[in-house]
Structure 1
């Protein structure tokens, strides 16, 4: 009989889902430091004989192979943004609501805990299930563990429907906006600032760019019954080399969040039209995802969980499933406005609600 590694963190999947969330959060896993939590999740899954467990880097995949006609994929990332004096976790009550407080509670270890507990306990779900816990979601897209799995092992993501355990306040949020980042540059001529008239100020030349952004009114676009709100904003500006030199270059960093009805080509064309004549360099571009709520399993899930589906305004990894032709929704505990916040905290009731909702839907015959 193999001997357990005494140095490996132990996750107690027999504990309540709230306690399991606390255990996962107290395993610090800032992006790039996911090995220990991935090891702990893999060890916890090893106790479940009904699961095939696969490791890819610091991503862990577990799946049932029961010969069911259909398969659903549930995924969540195990990394967090940096800690800022908000670990270890603690329980707090505010206005009669009990919260688990600390880094990762919202984004998104409460959802990870729900998935882990159900993966171990649901030995006979009504449909085959693939569970995915992946790394590097909070950093550059080229490092994303789910993206790596999609590139290297697309068969592991195969399914009729997918649920991403993103924080949604325990509501269902369909699809997601697309995301574009562009650097828009102006150019001038350097000169001594005491003799500015012999130069051309590139920062001053950027004023029309800022005016266009300030005057822009985001569109609200209905897609498959959900209304997505777009956004176009300056998120950075850089220019100048010294306090006595007229700058010869200025860069305005622009972020465009576009409705999933637009393609990336259409998003680029919109930016090109708005800033015609300027030097535009696209530095990040990702498709959105349509809601997919017309899919059979999406409709069943919405009916089972209850409530009204809402749009997801930000970009999430549901877009990766959408790119593979798999309808996907976001569903998980926690207020997304508290993701990455120093006072990040999740209502205990939402963790329990998501566990009940998913357990009932996956177990129903």
Structure 2
């Protein structure tokens, strides 16, 4: 599949399968059957799939992992039905990240590249769009420890055809502002936690992004509310008001440092519970494999202003980078699309490196 239209048709086929997080079974079945029928070695881990060519005696080539998550966020009416509209493929997951998956599959199935200087392994894993603990990539790496000997993992997240290095860490916390509940007809008997939170939320509104430079790449730290709620009846002055807060931190911080930083910023407004934290990943610009890929791709090198599973590969000592045809601005958007014109250049860049 070397023609642009073939890549678009494969992408349409991928987008036609239901695979919202937690419902990846059908697409995992399809992937496993596809590669087993081709004679590849297939391993199934829950709803994740690893495919590799049969091992040959004496094959000492370095391994390159082609990595995509197979789940998507819930569709909207504007992208529920995958289709080609003019110069775009429209559909849930087109940019994030089935366009990258289509490109990686096409490369993996290319016999010339399979016989090239690298041993190729294809990974399609479930649960990336959900909670950090539900991400199945960790299970895959534990079930197939040989993968951690790879020379490079190419994670085909949407990058606008840039090579995006490292990634931000992500911390989710809940901040509870405490007041005193009372009947809404007699509010003077209580202390309204919602209005009490107003002063702190006004301060939060002034929080500005902070640029952090790591290996000459500028990562932008941001933090802010993503939700808020009370649990009382509508005729009760709320005694508690909870704010969900998300903090995206740069690769200069580990989990503990990031936790300390956000707690200091939140201040003494009320109890804080850190729900989950996904570590950041350094750019690894000096890795020989990363250098080789960036040189072959001939693309702009930029920081990844989001969390991706390059961080999980960093934890097990595998150099990793983000590169894909998807548009970052289209991730999770209603009416999600990817330009057809992005597919072939992404494939060509991968082929130049792998060849």
Could you report, residue by residue, the CA deviation over 1:288-342 in whole angstroms, capped at 9, with x for unpaired residues? 1111121001111001011221111111111110111222111111211112222
1:92 to 78, 85, 89: 85
Q: The residue matched to 1:75 in structure 2 has which SS?
A: strand
Is the CA contact 1:61–1:131 (under 8 Å) kept in the aligned structure 2?
yes
Is the CA contact 1:13–1:116 (under 8 Å) kept in the aligned structure 2?
no
1:56 to 38, 45, 48: 45
1:353 to 317, 326, 345: 345
The runs of 5 or more residues in structure 2 that have no matched partner are none
Residues 1:83 and 2:75 are matched in the alignment: yes
Q: What's the counterpart of residue 129 of structure 2?
A: 138
Residues 1:16 and 2:6 are matched in the alignment: yes
Tell me the distance in 1 between the aligned counterparts of 2:122 and 2:130. Answer: 22
Tell me the distance in 2 between the aligned counterparts of 1:322 and 1:335. Answer: 24
Once the two structures are superposed, the pairs formed by residues 247-326 of structure 1 within 5 Å of their partners are 247-277=238-268, 278-326=270-318
Tell me the distance in 2 between the aligned counterparts of 1:42 and 1:190. Answer: 55
Instruction: Please report how far the alpha carbon of residue 360 of structure 1 lies from its aligned counterpart in structure 2 after TM superposition.
Output: 1.8
Q: What's the counterpart of residue 211 of structure 2?
A: 220
The runs of 5 or more residues in structure 1 that have no matched partner are 1-11
Q: The residue matched to 1:21 in structure 2 has which SS?
A: helix
84-93 vs 349-358, which moves further: 84-93
TM-score, normalising length: structure 2? 0.91
CA RMSD of aligned residues (A): 2.0
Tell me the distance in 1 between the aligned counterparts of 2:235 and 2:37. Answer: 67
289-298 vs 205-214, which moves further: 205-214
Closer, same or farther: CA 198–58 of 1 in aligned 2, 3 Å:
closer
Q: The residue matched to 2:275 in structure 1 has which SS?
A: strand
Could you report, residue by residue, the CA deviation over 1:174-220 in whole angstroms, capped at 9, with x for unpaired residues? 11100011111121222223332232222232223213311212210
Is the CA contact 2:80–2:91 (under 8 Å) kept in the aligned structure 1?
yes
Once the two structures are superposed, the pairs formed by residues 107-146 of structure 1 within 5 Å of their partners are 107-121=96-110, 122-146=113-137
Is the CA contact 2:193–2:239 (under 8 Å) kept in the aligned structure 1?
yes
Q: The residue matched to 1:53 in structure 2 has which SS?
A: strand
Instruction: Please report how far the alpha carbon of residue 13 of structure 1 lies from its aligned counterpart in structure 2 after TM superposition.
Output: 10
Closer, same or farther: CA 191–225 of 1 in aligned 2, 3 Å:
same
Q: The residue matched to 2:348 in structure 1 has which SS?
A: helix
Is the CA contact 2:68–2:155 (under 8 Å) kept in the aligned structure 1?
yes
Residues 1:245 and 2:251 are matched in the alignment: no
Instruction: Please report how far the alpha carbon of residue 160 of structure 1 lies from its aligned counterpart in structure 2 after TM superposition.
Output: 1.8
Is the CA contact 1:237–1:253 (under 8 Å) kept in the aligned structure 2?
yes
Q: What's the counterpart of residue 231 of structure 1?
A: 222
Is the CA contact 2:66–2:154 (under 8 Å) kept in the aligned structure 1?
yes
Tell me the distance in 2 between the aligned counterparts of 1:141 and 1:240. Answer: 26
Once the two structures are superposed, the pairs formed by residues 144-183 of structure 1 within 5 Å of their partners are 144-183=135-174
Once the two structures are superposed, the pairs formed by residues 1-12 of structure 1 within 5 Å of their partners are none
Is the CA contact 1:291–1:327 (under 8 Å) kept in the aligned structure 2?
no
Q: The residue matched to 2:293 in structure 1 has which SS?
A: helix
Tell me the distance in 2 between the aligned counterparts of 1:257 and 1:19. Answer: 36
Tell me the distance in 2 between the aligned counterparts of 1:224 and 1:68. Answer: 32
The count of aligned residue pairs is: 347
Q: The residue matched to 1:18 in structure 2 has which SS?
A: helix
Tell me the distance in 1 between the aligned counterparts of 2:76 and 2:6. Answer: 27
Q: The residue matched to 1:16 in structure 2 has which SS?
A: helix
Tell me the distance in 2 between the aligned counterparts of 1:274 and 1:104. Answer: 35
Closer, same or farther: CA 13–156 of 1 in aligned 2, 3 Å:
farther
